[in-house]
């Protein structure tokens, strides 16, 4: 699908944003008897907190929430943030059964997209130049492989080998640096992407009744164990658009995570009932 029609954003120097607000929310929710995080998330959270504590002395400005990170650390932080925001989003967006109604929209195809990773998908000679636009408007050029360029354009968001995060922009060949702004990438209208909850749609292909921010329900996802240790409640949200989407395109953060979805829908040709969530009032 065309990433340029899905998002506008981009890359930054070797720095990875720690979701400080997300961490505070998570600790508060846990203290209030919110659904407990799994041991996997606990381990991730402890590593995030430990790294934040170890690097706190290097943060000079109160508004700064970034730390220096190696490529491996950048990916660990990405996965940790993905787990944390998924749990927070699911908790804050939980529904009382009597408060909503599910309006059947039809059976749709389910596909997946993710943040492309140059370490996994950047094979081949780096001979394709691209322009990176920083938040301050400055620009620089780098070269990436032809294969990775295609992955970046299709997925719309990518992590370079260095750990920098890029988002496609409205200008061909120009990519926005969003490493600090959105480690997980941005969707339509600057909406933050949440793994296993954000979806992209194509309003010209049968889903004209949906818009950014609308919620949908896929019963086949209920109970699916996620990388965070949380279990899916079946609810998704329209946070992105794409001209190549036929049905719904579910954001899974990494290519490996997409296998969780394909396993759920195996034997159904990945077509499932889709319901729009509306208030029961």
Average confidence score pLDDT of the chain? 77
pLDDT digits (tens, 9 = 90+) for 22-60: 444 444 444 343 444 444 445 554 555 565 455 444 433
Residues 91 and 35 sit within 8 Å (Cβ to Cβ): yes
| CA separation for the pair 178, 13 (Å, rounded) | 10
Contacts of 50 (CB under 8 A, 6+ apart): none
Minimal CA–CA distance to 195: which of 251, 113, 117?
A: 251
**Nearest 5°: phi and psi at 151?**
-60, -45
Which range of 6-20, 86-100, 183-197 scores highest in mean pLDDT? It is 183-197
Position of tokens 């299709």?
A: 154
pTM over 0.85: no
| CA separation for the pair 227, 97 (Å, rounded) | 26
DSSP 85: H
DSSP 231: B
| Arithmetic mean of pLDDT, 255-265 | 87
Going from the N-terminus, what domains does the chain have, and what CATH number goes with each? 3-14+115-177 (no CATH), 15-92 (no CATH), 97-114+191-279 (2.40.40.10)
């Amino acid at each position: 699908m065309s990433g340029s029609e899905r998002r506008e954003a981009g890359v930054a120097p070797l720095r990875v944003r720690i979701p400080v607000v997300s961490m505070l929310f998570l600790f508060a929710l846990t203290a209030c008897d919110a659904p407990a995080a799994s041991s996997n998330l606990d381990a991730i959270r402890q590593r995030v907190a430990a790294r934040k504590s170890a690097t706190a002395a290097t943060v000079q400005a109160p508004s700064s929430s970034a730390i220096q990170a190696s490529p491996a650390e950048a990916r660990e932080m990405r996965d940790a943030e993905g787990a944390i925001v998924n749990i927070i989003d699911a908790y804050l967006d939980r529904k009382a059964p009597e408060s909503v109604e599910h309006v059947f929209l039809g059976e749709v195809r389910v596909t997946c997209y993710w943040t492309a990773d140059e370490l996994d998908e950047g094979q081949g000679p780096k001979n394709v130049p691209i322009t990176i636009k920083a938040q301050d408007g400055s620009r620089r050029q780098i070269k990436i492989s032809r294969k990775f360029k295609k992955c970046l354009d299709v997925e719309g968001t990518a992590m370079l080998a260095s750990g920098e995060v890029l988002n496609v922009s409205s200008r061909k060949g120009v990519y926005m640096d969003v490493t600090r702004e959105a480690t997980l990438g941005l969707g339509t209208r600057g909406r933050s992407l949440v793994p296993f909850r954000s979806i992209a749609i194509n309003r010209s292909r049968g889903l004209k009744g949906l818009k950014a921010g609308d919620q949908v329900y896929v019963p086949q996802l209920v109970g699916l164990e996620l990388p965070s240790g949380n279990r899916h409640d079946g609810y998704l949200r329209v946070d992105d658009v794409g001209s190549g989407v036929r049905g719904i395109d579910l954001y899974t953060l990494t290519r490996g995570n997409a296998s969780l979805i394909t396993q759920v829908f195996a034997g159904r040709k990945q077509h499932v009932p889709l319901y729009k969530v509306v208030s029961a009032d």
